[in-house]
Amino acid sequence: MLPDRLDFPQGFTFGAATSAYQIEGTAGAGPSHWDTFAATPGNIIDASNGSRACDHLTRWPEDLDLVRDAGFDAYRFSTSWARVMPDGVTVNPDGLDFYDTLVDGMLERGLRPFLTYHHWDLPAALADRGGWQNRDIAARFADLCITINARIGDRVASAATLNEPWCIAWLSHFLGHHAPGLRDIRAASRAMHHVLLAHGTAIQALRAQGADNLGIVLNFETAHPADDTPEAARAAGTQDAIYNQWFIRAVMGQGYPQAALQGIGPHLPEGWQDDMALIAQPLDWLGVNYYTRRLYTGNEGLWPHASEAPGPLPKTQITRTQMDWEIRPEGLTEFLTRLARDHTGTLPLYVTENGMALEAGGGTGAAITEDPRRVQFAGDHLRATLAAIEQGVDVRGFFYWSLLDNYEWGWGYGPRFGLVHVDYDTMTRTPKSSWHAFRAMLKG
Ligand code: PNW
């Protein structure tokens, strides 16, 4: 069961979230480093890519109807860098037109547009010039943001610079699971800094243009020791520093955490300390993505491995999702209260992503529309959000990930996160019971 809408503060925003590369299809966009990564055998478990995805590029009116008809107030989407600037620099007018039309489509349906400027589809031309390892990425990214803001900024309700810089930097350059697929501490360390420099530079440029309601979306994952050895405690601590503290501390002006700086510091670009003030731009809100907890033994090597490489999908279990991610709603309450206490103070927080992968029919052979476990999951995490609000944390909204089943990066099209089922042959959209549950909650 989902909680009652009236349990939430007045004006609390309910939304559904997606990202460009995962749903649009790449027709009309320039090549991105995700196309390159996906074309390399072994990187994507089903060897798929985002070339067609959910064909949102042509089916967006139907998709926005689904957001509206569920009763959501808002829609979180991202702009594709490779669509707006196919070579990373030159503006593609058709790309901007698409987002202009899309935003108008949201407004026509009474939906508030929550924009994310970048959700991982970096133009291949920029990747070829070093991508996030190259300091120049900060200026390039700021240019992207002001170009988009100049066109649609008058109509978006709120904008985030980046989605999940941990994934952009560490998962992609050290763990090698996302584009560009590197396993290199120097590349990773530079990306860990440049991604933040890009954020700060973009916020400053957007403010100069008059933009407001600006934030960033960070991901948080509980890191606990697997046992009571000192090795496990140390590994969980290192992991927490690199995943849950590095970015929030930097953007809040608290400096990089010592436990991560020990290993990363020697590889950071020279003079990085001079960038910290620019990185700590005042923000209007923080986006919190939360999914799971992982346990650490200390046997993971120099750096604890935060993420398993994509592998065969286990059957969804009661306590774990189709991704084999542990279901632990109290972790969301813990992060929201911890963030307010240790980092963000009174800054408004939004849960910008939370959701679960579940095979069609919930793994039980039931109809593809039956996903009672997702209803349970969403209800438990909404109640976990309420618990943080009751403890005084200013949480302003909750966005379910995701509106649609879509391209789950290295996992391809296997995991299904959607409130709406997508048949990848016919592209037919079918609302699941979770979509109906949100509709019942939101429309009363
Ligand atoms: C987030 N990890 O990704 C993204 O914002 C979405 O694009 C994605 O579909 C969603 O969560 C579900 O996975 C993550 O390995 C991907 O720790 C991987 C990790 C974390 C977040």
Q: What is the pLDDT of residue 136?
A: 98
Residue 417 near residue 406 (C-beta atoms within 8 A) = yes
Q: Which residue's CA lies nearest to atom 2 of ligand 1?
A: 307
Ligand 1, residue 306: give the atom nearest the CA: 17
Shortest-distance Cα residue to atom 7 of ligand 1: 19
Q: How many CA atoms lie within 13 A of 428 on its CB side?
A: 7
CA of 208 to the centre of ligand 1 (A): 32
Residue nearest atom 14 in ligand 1 by C-alpha distance: 167
Please give the pLDDT value at position 319: 87
pLDDT at residue 129, as a whole number: 98
φ, ψ (nearest 5 deg) of residue 253 = 75, 25
Q: Which residues does the annotation mark as catalytic? A: 353
- β pairing state of 429-431 and 420-422: antiparallel
Could you list the mean pLDDT of each consecutive 10-residue stretch along the chain, which spans 444 residues? 97 99 98 98 97 98 99 99 98 98 99 99 98 98 99 98 98 96 97 99 98 98 94 94 98 98 96 98 99 90 66 67 94 98 98 97 82 97 98 98 98 97 98 98 92
Q: How far apart are CA 92 and CA 79, in angstroms?
A: 13
Strand partners for 280: none
Enter the tokens of residue 26. 């790449």
Ligand 1 surroundings by CB, under 6 angstroms: 19, 22, 163-164, 167, 171, 219, 221, 289, 306-307, 353, 401, 408
Counting from 1 in the atom list of ligand 1, the atom nearest the Cα of 323 is: 13
Complex-level ipTM: 0.92
Classify burial at 305, counting beta carbons within 10 Å of its beta carbon; exposed 0-12, middle 13-18, buried 19 or more.
middle
Q: How far apart are CA 184 and CA 68, in angstroms?
A: 44
Q: What number of residues does the chain have?
A: 444
Ligand 1, closest atom to CA 401? 10
- Whether residue 429 contacts residue 66, with contact meaning beta carbons closer than 8 Å, is answered with yes
Q: Whose CA is nearest to atom 18 of ligand 1?
A: 167
The pLDDT assigned to 249 comes to: 99
